[in-house]
């Protein structure tokens, strides 16, 4: 990536898929909607949805709506979507945290978001994971979910269903953490060996 960040546009009018092979730390569905004759954003589509799989190999997908942010170093982002006539998706791909960068770009939320200053709650919990199991249930109010693999030796694999395996899941190496922002979907996990004490920090 020549610059610290770039914008990537994807037309969603027809069902399709794409893969963005680039090293980045932050990947955000910044905005989605129709564009005018000059290819400028026109009408926002709050219902726009794109699924994303992160990593060198295509595996489990997570749903992304406007303002969904995937944080964590990756070298490829796999995208797929259903037909959404007239809609374009604008992705922000960044090496630096877009929430603290000197350049600020804001998109409308998909729903009303209660910020921490307005009384959002933070809940911490731990889950023991060995075989494939539910790690975090879906939540209609969750804004952000941080997952921490506390194991010193075992890898944790994340997925969108109980069918997640070490071959298909998104890997969290020993000691690594991963934050998903904007997605309210359930998250499943499986351990590469033994049992892993996984720590969760949910905001919303």
- Which CATH number does the domain housing residue 63 bear? 2.60.120
- Total tally of structural domains belonging to the chain: 2
Q: Do both 13 and 89 map to the same domain?
A: yes
Q: Do both 130 and 199 map to the same domain?
A: yes
Dihedral-angle region of residue 152 (phi above 0 means left; psi in -120 to 50 means alpha; beta otherwise): alpha
Q: What is the domain range of residue 56?
A: 5-94
The mean per-residue pLDDT over the stretch 49-78 comes to 88
**pTM of the predicted model as reported, rounded to 2 decimal places:** 0.50
Question: CA 125, CA 118: separation in Å to the nearest integer?
Answer: 22
Burial class (CB in 10 A: 0-12, 13-18, 19+), 69: buried
**CATH code at position 169:** 2.60.120.770
pLDDT band at 118 (very low <50, low <70, confident <90, very high): very low
Q: What is the mean pLDDT of the chain?
A: 84
pLDDT band at 99 (very low <50, low <70, confident <90, very high): low
Question: CA 187, CA 158: separation in Å to the nearest integer?
Answer: 7
| Residue 164 in domain | yes
DSSP 8-state code for residue 154: P
Domain closes at, from 63, 94, 125: 94
Q: Which of 5-14, 42-51, 166-175, 184-193 has the lowest mean pLDDT?
A: 42-51
């Amino acid at each position: 990536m020549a610059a610290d960040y770039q914008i990537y546009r994807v037309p969603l009018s027809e069902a399709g898929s794409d893969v963005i092979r680039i090293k980045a730390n932050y990947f955000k569905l910044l905005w989605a909607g129709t564009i005018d004759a000059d290819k400028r954003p026109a009408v926002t589509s709050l219902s726009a949805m794109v699924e994303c799989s992160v990593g060198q190999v295509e595996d489990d997908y997570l749903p992304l709506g406007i303002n969904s942010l995937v944080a964590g170093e990756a070298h490829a982002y796999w995208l797929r979507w259903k037909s959404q006539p007239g809609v374009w998706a604008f992705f922000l791909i960044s090496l630096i945290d877009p929430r603290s960068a000197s350049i600020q770009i804001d998109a409308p939320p998909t729903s009303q978001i209660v910020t921490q200053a307005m009384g959002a709650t933070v809940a911490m919990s731990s889950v023991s994971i060995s075989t494939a199991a539910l790690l975090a249930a879906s939540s209609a109010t969750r804004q952000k979910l941080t997952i921490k693999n506390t194991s010193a030796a075992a890898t944790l694999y994340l997925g969108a269903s109980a069918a997640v395996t070490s071959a298909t899941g998104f890997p969290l190496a020993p000691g690594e953490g991963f934050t998903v922002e904007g997605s309210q979907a359930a998250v499943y996990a499986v351990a590469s060996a033994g049992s892993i004490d996984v720590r969760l920090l949910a905001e919303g």
